[in-house]
Chains A and B, each alone.
Chain A
Amino acid sequence: MKSTTTWINSINNRFWRTIVNSTATGVESVAVFRIIMGIYLLFVTTPTYTWIADLPKALYTPPIISFVNLLASDFPGRNFLVTVDFLMVASIVGIVLGIYSRFATLAFVILKVSVLSFQYSFGKIDHDIMLPATLACMAFSGWGQTLALVPDKRSKWDSPSKSLSVIAVLIGFGYFSAGIEKAIHWLNFDLNSNGTARWFYLGLYNLQRQPILAPALKNAPFWFFKIMDVVGVIFELTPIIAVLISRKAWRIWLFFAAAFHLVNYLLFNINFIGNGLVYIAFINYKPVYRYVANLTKSYIAKALILAAVGYAAVIRGISILTSQNVGIIFIPDNGNANLYCMLIIWALICAALFITIFKTGKQPVHDDLEVVSPQLT
């Protein structure tokens, strides 16, 4: 019995050690990532949730198994949602500027998941859970210890390598949950049966989506959709394998993941930009850390950063009070501008991940991994 337990423990340790070796960066790197994530949350995705208060009770059909179904029988009121919206903006400011980052991150995650739970009580669950899940993990990465106005104190819970390893496993399982059912129904030799084509035609004619490359895909032969079926399933079932193979294999998968989302956006108008942000958590930003640190020492840079953050926070505040979407801050809120901005962001993510494939470097040593946490042996 004892030997079985020891054996299971050793498998467990080997499993996590392999994943840590494939994913680890360091405290300095995750601090830069915190700023990138904060900029994304403050400037790029700017949702408000006050509109939920206007929904009639008849439309309240929460998922049977959800905490909002347990706790509420109607959509929340406007005052509650305005408060939550403002608290979310405040927590994002905390993340981007590094003001009690751990607390700000956890507060954001709780608030975000709460309002999304009410939003999905409309009936449709969007599967954008990876972003809050990643933030929840990063709250324990030590990403607020440096490059921060009010740095977090070092904690025994902080471990960038542990956080990133859990995120990698979350990605692996998330995609498994999407790919396994598709594999059962899509992987066959019947060239006349197709899943991707169904997504495409339903998006086009039922949801009235207008993907930018729809004309090209409409004219594609039916077997092309079959290739997409197979490639899609392989892509969705392989992240956990890639992360267990090597650091380079994981980075190659991340690049293909970003490219997959970009293609999805172009062909199906399905934009999982939040996942793109999750993928770039695994980039090692250490080479740019010093540059960012120096930049934030300059008074002019500090003033500009504070002005930009302040401006965005004010715009977000107005958006909350007026229930008007503002789109991407500094960019006109119209369909085309939003589309091209998103394409640029996706292109940048793909390019960054592509470069990372060739900058994998040597396997990280533990001194690099754990500047803070002594827990990792």
Chain B
Amino acid sequence: MHSLKFTGILFAIFLIPFVLRLFGLEPYPAILFPSGPETVKQVNGKTEIETKQLFAKKQNGQWALVEPKAFMYPVSAIQLAKLVSKNMGFKKQKPFPLKGKIGIVNYLYRSQNSSSSAAEEAELRNWIKKRLKRGNYQTSEVKVATYSNIISTTNGNILKKELKDEKYYNLD
């Protein structure tokens, strides 16, 4: 049978990442499955969810929803949601944990909390523009719109879509 030592190590391999995820520090690799315990509330046959969507201008100047699969290819389409949720990749400087006094902590947070350099932002703009061009969109600008969607819990359809926020990204 597996030794007690082996069992202890296995337990630590499970437990440490699990606790880290509870504190928002999910490591990789780790034996963790998707959790997502958030809920929605139903009130009078309706519920509300927030969505963020990427729009770009078609050649006729009209804003159009960007089709995730074609835009992201060969990257998985699901990553578009992550991209729009993180400011399209345009990083802003954030304070480092523990007031930035510990070198190793600063090193670990260097990619998450530092802003991008001008060269990196230019590279990001080009990457987005390349994808827009491929989808026959105008390449000068995109916007991320945040909507509050009121959904009928009877038929699952959107009853009302309210614009909460719009953020424009100039790519030129």
Contacts and interface: CB of A to CB of B under 8 A. Distances in A.
A174 B153 CA distance: 32
B120 A206 contact: no
A376 interface: yes
B1 A17 contact: yes
A193 interface: yes
B93 interface: no
Which of A51, A116, A325 neighbours the largest number of chain B CB atoms within 10 Å of its CB?
A51
A130 B110 CA distance: 29
B7 interface: yes
Interface residues on A, range: 35 or more
Interface in A145-169: 162, 165-166, 169
Contacts of B127: 54-56, 59
Contacts of A117: 28-29
Contact of B111 (A61, A169, A175, A197): A61
Contacts of B39: 185-186, 193-195, 198
B58 interface: no
Nearest to B125: A56
A204 B1 contact: no
A122 B26 CA distance: 14
A218 B10 contact: no
Contact of B49 (A13, A125, A205, A208): A205
Nearest to A112: B29
A300 interface: no
Which of B32, B33, B49, B112 neighbours the largest number of chain A CB atoms within 10 Å of its CB?
B33
Contact of B124 (A56, A218, A323): A56
Nearest to A188: B39
Contact of A178 (B34, B73, B126): B34
Interface in B72-94: 73-75, 77-79, 81-83, 86, 89-91
Interface in B19-58: 20-21, 25-43, 47, 49, 51-53
Q: Which 8 A-B pairs have the closest CB atoms?
A: A218-B156, A178-B33, A65-B27, A58-B124, A185-B37, A181-B37, A16-B1, A56-B123
